[in-house]
């Protein structure tokens, strides 16, 4: 007969944290939210660490290159959505990897015999005001000059004026030789009051550009998530259908970590996908898997070789899997059980597999609950969809406030049938997601800074200065519906701005 769980599955809203002793050193400035992204052996550190425990969801409405850039600059990571052609996803990855680095491969280049009209068109297309002029117009051609907005006046110069007649020629440039360190490059930038320093090889071929703004931006974003080459890090979603073609294209683009995007990860298709990647590319290529909601799903993906495992089915704000199929589990219960299985697996094998809690987050404090229950980081869709950096359009709804479009991968709008592993079907027979709006909230960094402040303050109340300490010492209690009501404003008349006239 079928197996029955006697206890109901519970959501984050059914739990509260009890305060522990707040020591004098428990202040927000001392709290570290650094957390492992991929598995590691006992006594070692994960090869990929997050500076903030946030990942943006693998969704068309959430994670493109703009979101990936903004979140990596804050210390988290995006997984660029995979429900698009391989070439366009790989190009998004390239844009992230090329956006911010100590040494940037130039992606705005022209030839000296082109004209001012080409400069204007390229600047409009890329938004870049610095253009490298090489003999063949390639990013690594022989450098003959640089063009910036200070080299021409659109009100005076004709559009057919040749670039060679107004560019700053190579003879007048300050440049660095290949092999220069980032510190040395920045010293030259400051010494000569430059905005950009080209770096060339012994044959005068352009190798990199180093920008003053990158140095300044890093100082303003000390938690930036950077790879060994000082480039922003990004992940990418893959499916269990075209991975043999998609994975090499993403790796060639420079992706740092992969994640299989599926509504249900407890499948043989996921195991096959992980094993293919590990056998072909080795352990250096990191791939997360999921989603699962119990210990059986965790063990299956752990044995398959997953580098991290996502937890949660049906808890997303735009997900209707539970309504449509009756499949899923309350997010809190799912995280608690999978975390217990992860800890048992660690005791047996000495391998620690980080967990990502995906879905079920309504309030900021739910993130702290997810971490306390055993997740290393959380994946968020609705939260990030509200910001300027998300792909959804910003519209005014009914003449009132601004909103952002937000749609699920299981909706007809996304048509992401590949994430529903049910054999050979190449279409959605029914929707498992909705098309909706979320309130517009402004810039990502402003909102994320506030969320991080809340998380750190809560951890201080729990007497924890790190996520591992929180997981060891947190005390959680179930709450009743009456105590939930008690926790908000009640039995008062809330003031409104226009209640009284002076």
For the record, the structure tokens of 472 come out as 């060891």
> The tokens of 263 are what?
């509504």
The answer to whether 10 is a known catalytic residue is: no
Complete DSSP assignment for 180-216 = --HHHHHHHHHHTT-SEEEEE-TTSBEEEEEEHHHHH
Residues 198 and 148: beta-carbon distance below 8 Å: no
Quick check: is 26 catalytic?
no
Give the Å distances, CA to CA, from 11 to 259, 296, 366: 25, 20, 9
Query: Which is the catalytic residue, given 356, 419, 460, 462?
Result: 419
Tokens found for residue 213: 């703004």
CB within 8 Å of 65: residues ≥ 6 apart = 80, 92, 93, 95, 96, 99, 234
Q: Which of 74, 319, 356, 462 is catalytic?
A: 319
Measured over the CA atoms of residue 248, residue 253, residue 257 and residue 263, the dihedral's sign is negative
475 CB-side CA count, 13 A: 7
What are residue 177's phi and psi, to 5 degrees?
-90, 150
Q: Which of 107, 158, 155 is nearest to 134 (CA)?
A: 107
| Residue 125 burial by Cβ neighbours in a 10 Å radius (0-12, 13-18, 19+) | exposed
DSSP 250-304: HHHHT--EEEE--S---SHHHHHHHHHHHHHH-TTS-EEEEEE-SHHHHHHHHHH
DSSP state for residue 130 in the 8-state scheme = -
Q: Which residues are catalytic?
A: 319, 419
């Amino acid at each position: 007969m079928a197996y029955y769980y006697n206890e109901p599955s519970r959501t984050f809203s059914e739990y509260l944290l009890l305060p522990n002793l707040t020591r004098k050193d428990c202040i927000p400035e001392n709290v570290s939210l650094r957390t492992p992204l991929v598995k590691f052996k006992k006594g070692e550190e994960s090869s990929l660490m997050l500076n903030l425990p946030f990942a943006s969801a693998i969704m068309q409405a959430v994670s493109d290159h703009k979101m990936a850039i903004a979140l990596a600059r804050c210390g988290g990571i995006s997984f660029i959505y995979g429900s698009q052609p391989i070439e366009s996803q790989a190009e998004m990855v390239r844009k992230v990897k090329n956006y911010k680095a100590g040494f940037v491969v130039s992606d705005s280049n022209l030839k000296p015999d082109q004209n001012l009209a080409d400069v204007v068109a390229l600047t409009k297309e890329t938004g870049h005001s610095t253009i490298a002029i090489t003999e063949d117009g390639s990013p690594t051609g022989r450098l003959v000059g640089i063009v910036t907005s200070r080299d021409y006046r659109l009100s005076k110069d004709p559009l057919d004026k040749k670039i060679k007649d107004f560019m700053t020629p190579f003879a007048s440039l300050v440049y660095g030789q290949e092999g220069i360190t980032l510190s040395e490059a920045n010293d030259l930038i400051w010494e000569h009051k430059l905005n950009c320093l080209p770096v060339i090889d012994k044959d005068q071929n352009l190798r990199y550009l180093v920008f003053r703004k990158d140095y300044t931006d890093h100082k303003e974003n000390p938690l930036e998530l950077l790879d060994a080459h000082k480039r922003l890090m990004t992940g990418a979603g893959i499916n269990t259908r075209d991975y043999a073609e998609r994975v090499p294209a993403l790796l060639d683009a420079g992706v740092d970590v992969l994640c299989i995007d599926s509504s249900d990860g407890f499948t043989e298709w996921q195991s096959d996908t992980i094993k293919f990647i590990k056998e072909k590319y080795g352990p250096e290529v990191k791939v997360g898997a999921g989603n699962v909601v119990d210990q059986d799903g965790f063990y299956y993906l752990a044995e398959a070789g997953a580098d991290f495992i996502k937890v949660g089915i049906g808890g997303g704000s735009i997900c209707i899997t539970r309504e449509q199929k009756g499949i899923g589990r309350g997010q809190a219960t799912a995280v608690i059980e999978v975390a217990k299985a992860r800890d048992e697996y660690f005791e047996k094998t000495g391998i620690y597999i980080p967990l990502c809690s995906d879905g079920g987050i309504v309030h900021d404090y739910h993130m702290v609950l997810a971490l306390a229950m055993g997740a290393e980081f959380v994946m968020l869709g609705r939260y990030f969809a509200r910001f300027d950096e998300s792909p959804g359009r910003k519209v005014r709804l009914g003449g009132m406030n601004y909103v952002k479009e937000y749609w699920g991968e299981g909706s007809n709008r996304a048509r992401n049938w590949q994430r529903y592993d049910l054999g050979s079907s190449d279409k959605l027979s029914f929707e498992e997601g909705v098309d909706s709006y979320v309130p517009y909230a402004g810039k990502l960094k402003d909102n994320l800074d506030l969320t991080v402040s809340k998380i750190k303050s809560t951890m201080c109340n729990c007497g924890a200065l790190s996520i591992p300490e929180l997981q060891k010492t947190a005390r959680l209690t179930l709450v009743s519906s009456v105590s939930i009501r008690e926790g908000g404003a009640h039995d008062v008349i809330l003031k409104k701005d226009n209640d009284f006239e002076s």
